[in-house]
């Protein structure tokens, strides 16, 4: 048995395959199950049948808060799900254009037949090839004619969709972007992914980009939760990693942070560490007192020069 205090951040460490991620996923799933079970039984049995499957390894957990697990889960391949639609920023952009032209916001949605290109039905592609009719813009020619002046030139809804998060934030006042959404956009920039555009399909994001996008959203709204982040260091250079860890510390002011990682840079930022081992696979799955990682073997630097070993012509 293990007791984990609420007021400390944790680094989850151990050999690959020792059970770190499985342990955290189990906690996350059990938290979702307990949250969903607050709904009437008739509703959760119909809406969330998979979540309600019993996990006997987690059933004895007590005093569990809301747990959010950010791992290498499968990303939606739905081409209609973009950063703009996912964050809700795109909804506010559509409302701005609808107000200017006295139309319904649905007209400016590529998920609605009122505005989508009839060739690709708003996907921008047909059989993974750019739509020849709209050239990937997703909208009909009629909708493309509605333009507003931004950055000293006319912009249609598809032009706005092509703008980066950084550009959208700079135009927040002109586009009537709410403070809540501005907060999310600023967090995305702080996470070093402000280069992403509103029309970037969620399924094309790398694991690191997706995790940082979710973090940016959680930072805007989350309080009193346990947020578990799986291998935030993957794909990041040292300087960027340090910057992201500083942002995660801000998130930890109102939440408890668990960081699953092999990087000492990441683990050293936490208050305490939990080690899994003693080995991998069937030899792992237990919480151990000390890190099971082999100690580094140091060798004296070879001071010989290459020409003493090789002949160059």
pLDDT tens digits along 63-114:
677 888 887 665 566 778 899 999 999 999 999 999 999 999 999 999 999 9
Q: How confident is the model at residue 169 (pLDDT cuts 50, 70, 90)?
A: very high
C-alpha 235/C-alpha 75 separation (Å) is 17
H helix or E strand, kind and range, residue 272: strand 272-277
Which residues partner with 273 through β-bridges?
11
C-alpha 71/C-alpha 41 separation (Å) is 29
pLDDT, tens digit, for every residue of 192-226?
999 999 999 988 888 888 888 988 888 887 778 88
Return residue ranges of the chain for CATH 3.40.50.300.
Answer: 10-75+208-288
C-alpha 255/C-alpha 303 separation (Å) is 50
Domain covering 10-75+208-288: architecture? 3-Layer(aba) Sandwich (3.40)
Return residue ranges of the chain for CATH 1.20.1580.10.
Answer: 83-190
Q: What pLDDT shows up at residue 68? A: 84
**Plot region of 219 (φ>0 → left; ψ -120 to 50 → alpha; else → beta):** alpha
Residue of 163, 190, 193, 191 whose CA lies nearest to 89 = 163
- Exposure of 309 by Cβ count < 10 A (0-12 exposed, 13-18 middle, 19+ buried)? exposed
Q: What pLDDT shows up at residue 127? A: 85
**Higher pLDDT pick, 138 / 70:** 138
Which pTM does this prediction carry?
Answer: 0.77
Q: What are the tokens at 239? A: 């300087």
Give the fold, CATH level 3, of 83-190: ABC transporter ATPase like fold (1.20.1580)
Q: How confident is the model at residue 281 (pLDDT cuts 50, 70, 90)?
A: confident
Mean pLDDT over 28-32 rounds to 79
Q: What are the tokens at 201? A: 């399909």
Give how far Cα 130 sits from Cα of 90, 136, 142, Å.
22, 5, 19
């Amino acid at each position: 048995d293990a007791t984990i205090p609420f007021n400390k951040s944790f680094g989850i460490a151990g050999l690959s395959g020792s059970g770190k991620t499985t342990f955290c996923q189990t906690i996350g799933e059990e938290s979702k199950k307990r949250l969903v079970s607050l709904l009437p039984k008739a509703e959760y049995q119909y809406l969330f049948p998979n979540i309600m499957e019993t996990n006997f390894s987690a059933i004895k957990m007590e005093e569990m808060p809301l747990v959010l697990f950010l791992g290498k889960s499968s990303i939606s391949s739905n081409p209609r799900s973009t950063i703009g639609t996912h964050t809700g920023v795109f909804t506010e952009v559509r409302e701005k254009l609808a107000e200017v032209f006295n139309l319904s916001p649905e007209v400016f949605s590529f998920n609605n037949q009122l505005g989508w290109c009839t060739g690709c039905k708003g996907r921008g592609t047909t059989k993974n090839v750019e739509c020849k009719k709209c050239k990937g813009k997703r909208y009909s020619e009629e909708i493309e004619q509605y333009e507003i002046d931004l950055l000293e030139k006319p912009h249609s809804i598809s032009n706005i969709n092509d703008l980066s998060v950084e550009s959208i934030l700079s135009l927040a006042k002109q586009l009537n972007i709410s403070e809540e959404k501005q907060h999310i956009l600023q967090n995305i920039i702080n996470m070093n992914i402000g280069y992403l555009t509103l029309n970037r399909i969620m399924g094309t994001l790398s694991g690191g980009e997706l995790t940082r996008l979710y973090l940016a959203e959680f930072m805007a709204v989350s309080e009193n939760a346990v947020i578990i982040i799986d291998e935030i260091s993957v794909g990041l250079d040292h300087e960027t990693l340090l910057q992201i860890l500083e942002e995660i510390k801000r998130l930890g002011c109102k939440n408890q942070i668990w960081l699953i990682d092999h990087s000492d840079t990441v683990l050293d930022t936490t208050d305490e560490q939990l080690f899994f081992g003693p080995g991998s696979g069937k030899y792992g799955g237990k919480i151990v007192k000390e890190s099971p990682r082999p100690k580094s073997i140091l060798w004296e630097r070879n001071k010989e020069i290459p020409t003493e070993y090789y002949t160059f012509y």
